[in-house]
Structure 1
Amino acid sequence: MAEIDRNRLGRALAEEQHRFVEDHPRSQALFEEAKASLLDGVPMNWMVRWAGAFPIFVREAKGAHFTDVDGHNYVDLCLGDTGAMTGHAPEEAIGPIVERLRRGTTFMLPTEDSIRVGAELQRRFGLRYWQVALTATDANRFAIRLARQITGRSKILVHNWCYHGSVDETIVTLQNGAPGPKPGNIGPAVDPALTTKVVEINDVPALEAALEAGDVACVLAEPALTNIGIVHPEPGYHAALREISRRTGTLLIIDETHTICAGPGGYTKAYGLEPDMLTIGKPIASGVPAAVYGFTSEIAERIRAAMDLQTADTGGIGGTLAGNALSLAAIRATLESVLTEAAFAHTIALAERFTAGVQAVIEERALPWHVTRLGCRAEYWFCPRPPRNGGEAAAAIDAELDRYMHLAALNRGILMTPFHNMALIAPQATEADIDRHTTAFRESVEALVD
């Protein structure tokens, strides 16, 4: 196996940093200007987490590509970290969105689109009833509240290194075998160890031990980990999760916000999962803020029995803009015309091509790396074998090598997801776009190994 010379890596990274600054004078100027009014020069703090000395400023985007203010065109394999999984400004959604804008956007009253959305969600995911929120974070928060209300239990359980947005209870990780605040957890309301149990994905004995106490209202789970790299569940894990949760009276909430990449009905439909509740946000409205959460008929009856209509507006679930007409029009257009069976067939095939291209380079250069895929999402890792759980994945991170590969790709017109080496494929992407990445990946590797 080839080894990376760290001195050579340091020199290559410095060269890419210099090239980036030279190629993006307008973005740099705008970044400096933005510092006068925006904290750290960005409108949202995560936007500072890019490999370059500053974020590039976007001028416009269409489909699988965007152009920055310096005139560079990029193949977008980040897609707003799944928010633009539909591709940018998909033609099929633009008309209904613009028409809804002309006719009013929010009323705190339903529109006919809400009925069509509910029926389509029911068909795709198999859960009977649905509600609408603005973000997957809110959908998860509301689902957790409902689970606590109807079970009378206080705790939740998540997988180590999970991702469920900015829900307080989920910004937690295992520290020496015990739950504690995830590194960087900003001002937690309470110690998450008081609210949350944490187990590694694929650890059935730990899962069973955590749920047997009978104090967990719900398991909130991505069906595969996606934000510490793609970590697949092992055969039989989901069957065990469902059996143990049912036996212990624990509700199972599946978060499909990232794993919708597995197909039109997400991982749930593709692999026959049977959650009590399901949440999803990000891509379902073609970039318009929207999310949904659904539940079975049985859960719906328990919710109704535990709710007081007179205080429903002050119970911590909902929001003035939740379920607004614009979001619902965008969800309807996206589900009916953009995130279709045909679109997934196309993007999954391209993700397979991406995986094959990366694997070929890894083999050519005898690198101790691997590449893995989930639907139309793929990722390469700087370790020889796929991590079995979140803890192993976190231990395999190589921050310097990550930064180099991201920046080298960006300098060659490829935008990867900034937090790891992940690519998400838009429906408008082409084989040429994927091959462009393979070429950039090969060039980046050749600068490191002979």
Structure 2
Amino acid sequence: PSLLGQVHDLTTTTRVVEFNDLDGLRAALAAGDVACVLTEPVLTNIGMVLPEPGFLQAVRALTREHGALLVMDETHTLSCGPGGYCRANDLQPDVLILGKPIAGGTPGAAYGFTTQVGARMQAVKTASPPGHSGIGTTLSAGLLTLRLMRTMLADVMTEAAYAHMFAIANRVADGLERVIANHGLRWTVTRIGARCEVQFAPQRPRNGSEARAAFDDALEPALQLALLNRGVLLTPFHNMLLASPAHTESDAHALISAFDDALTGLKNA
């Protein structure tokens, strides 16, 4: 009984709304029974989907209007700056959650919330039976994770490091777009902060369904294998690239050159 926030059947407690669909969100919130809206500020797990201008601000306004909390998952969009996408774009979620990047890729997480949400959480905890809250337990406060968090906050998540990563990511994105155009391909490159991605579509997708439709389950692994054979290893899901403080202009040039040569090889195959 003391475990708070037990998992429920998502098929009966969740309504799914496509990204960038304000009418769909408005309809989902109309009954007034939605506890929270949970989203990434930019979709990343289905391929990158950028918010349309004003979309996230409208989401914030609608959640306040209907009494729902806004929860932002910045695990992947922390690449947009030391405060993530929300700080860079002056968004004001009620709850912010981060996953493994805050601990250098190891199992770790952080979350934050407004004063009002914190008071509500404390009230529920105070009224509950004694015991564990269900947060953390055996996987919390490992010394390696804490040391890595400290290193990330002090030495990696700095303005200077982000400026360097943004420059490398811009260099890569511009180079990939140029190569794609030279090969006459109807693909696009999407970028936010230090992250960019090649998508097999002539225009950037506006929701998860369009992003999934742009997948090519045969071409993607073929492209990644071609790049691997040329000394470049991509993250092994879609064609996502992430600049780090350790990457250099030479690394960016090597990636672009390998991408160009890989496309030539695939076209001739």
TM-score calculated relative to the size of structure 1: 0.57
Partners in 2 of 1:436 and 1:309 — Cα distance?
59
Partners in 2 of 1:313 and 1:324 — Cα distance?
21
Query: CA offset at residue 212 of structure 1?
Result: 1.5
* Match of residue 328, structure 1, among 141, 146, 167: 146
* 1:224 maps to 2:48: no
Question: Match of 1:351, as an amino acid?
Answer: A
* Match of residue 374, structure 1, among 181, 188, 192: 192
Partners in 2 of 1:328 and 1:311 — Cα distance?
30
Query: CA offset at residue 309 of structure 1?
Result: 7.1
- Partner-residue secondary structure (3-state), 2:140: coil
- Partner-residue secondary structure (3-state), 2:253: helix
- Partner-residue secondary structure (3-state), 1:355: helix
CA displacement, residues 311-345 of structure 1 (integer Å, 9 cap, x when unaligned): 35344333133134442332122101112111110
1:8-407 aligned within 5 A: 145=5, 190=9, 192-308=10-126, 311=129, 313-407=131-225
Q: Which residue of 2 aligns with 1:84?
A: none
Question: Match of 2:54, as an amino acid?
Answer: G
How high is the sequence identity, in percent, across the aligned residues?
Answer: 48
Query: CA offset at residue 281 of structure 1?
Result: 1.4
- Partner-residue secondary structure (3-state), 1:198: coil
- Judged with a 3 Å threshold, the aligned counterparts in structure 2 of structure 1 residues 440 and 331 are, in CA distance, closer, same or farther, namely same
Structure 1 unaligned blocks of 5 or more = 1-141, 149-167, 170-189
Count of residue correspondences? 266
Query: CA offset at residue 300 of structure 1?
Result: 0.9
* 1:431 maps to 2:252: no
Question: Match of 2:181, as an amino acid?
Answer: E
Partners in 2 of 1:241 and 1:264 — Cα distance?
23
- Partner-residue secondary structure (3-state), 1:347: helix
Does the 8 Å contact 2:125/2:133 carry over to 1? no
Partners in 2 of 1:252 and 1:227 — Cα distance?
19
Query: CA offset at residue 193 of structure 1?
Result: 2.0
Query: CA offset at residue 411 of structure 1?
Result: 1.1
Higher RCO (C-alpha 8 Å, min separation 6): 1
- Partner-residue secondary structure (3-state), 1:414: coil
Structure 2 unaligned blocks of 5 or more = none
Q: Looking at CA atoms only, which structure, 1 or 2, has the larger radius of gyration?
A: 1
Question: Match of 2:124, as an amino acid?
Answer: A
- Partner-residue secondary structure (3-state), 2:86: helix
- Partner-residue secondary structure (3-state), 1:302: helix
Question: Match of 1:367, as an amino acid?
Answer: L
Higher strand share: 1
- Judged with a 3 Å threshold, the aligned counterparts in structure 2 of structure 1 residues 309 and 213 are, in CA distance, closer, same or farther, namely closer
Partners in 2 of 1:354 and 1:243 — Cα distance?
36
Query: CA offset at residue 412 of structure 1?
Result: 1.1
Question: Match of 2:189, as an amino acid?
Answer: V
RMSD: 1.9
Query: CA offset at residue 268 of structure 1?
Result: 0.8
- Judged with a 3 Å threshold, the aligned counterparts in structure 2 of structure 1 residues 392 and 287 are, in CA distance, closer, same or farther, namely closer
CA displacement, residues 243-264 of structure 1 (integer Å, 9 cap, x when unaligned): 1101111011110000001111
Partners in 1 of 2:131 and 2:146 — Cα distance?
20
CA displacement, residues 276-300 of structure 1 (integer Å, 9 cap, x when unaligned): 1100011112244211111111111
- Partner-residue secondary structure (3-state), 1:383: coil
Query: CA offset at residue 240 of structure 1?
Result: 0.8
Partners in 1 of 2:58 and 2:52 — Cα distance?
11
Question: Match of 1:336, as an amino acid?
Answer: A
TM-score calculated relative to the size of structure 2: 0.93
- Partner-residue secondary structure (3-state), 1:224: coil
Question: Match of 2:167, as an amino acid?
Answer: A
* 1:422 maps to 2:250: no
- Partner-residue secondary structure (3-state), 2:53: coil
Question: Match of 1:297, as an amino acid?
Answer: T
Query: CA offset at residue 363 of structure 1?
Result: 1.1
- Partner-residue secondary structure (3-state), 2:131: helix
Partners in 2 of 1:313 and 1:290 — Cα distance?
22
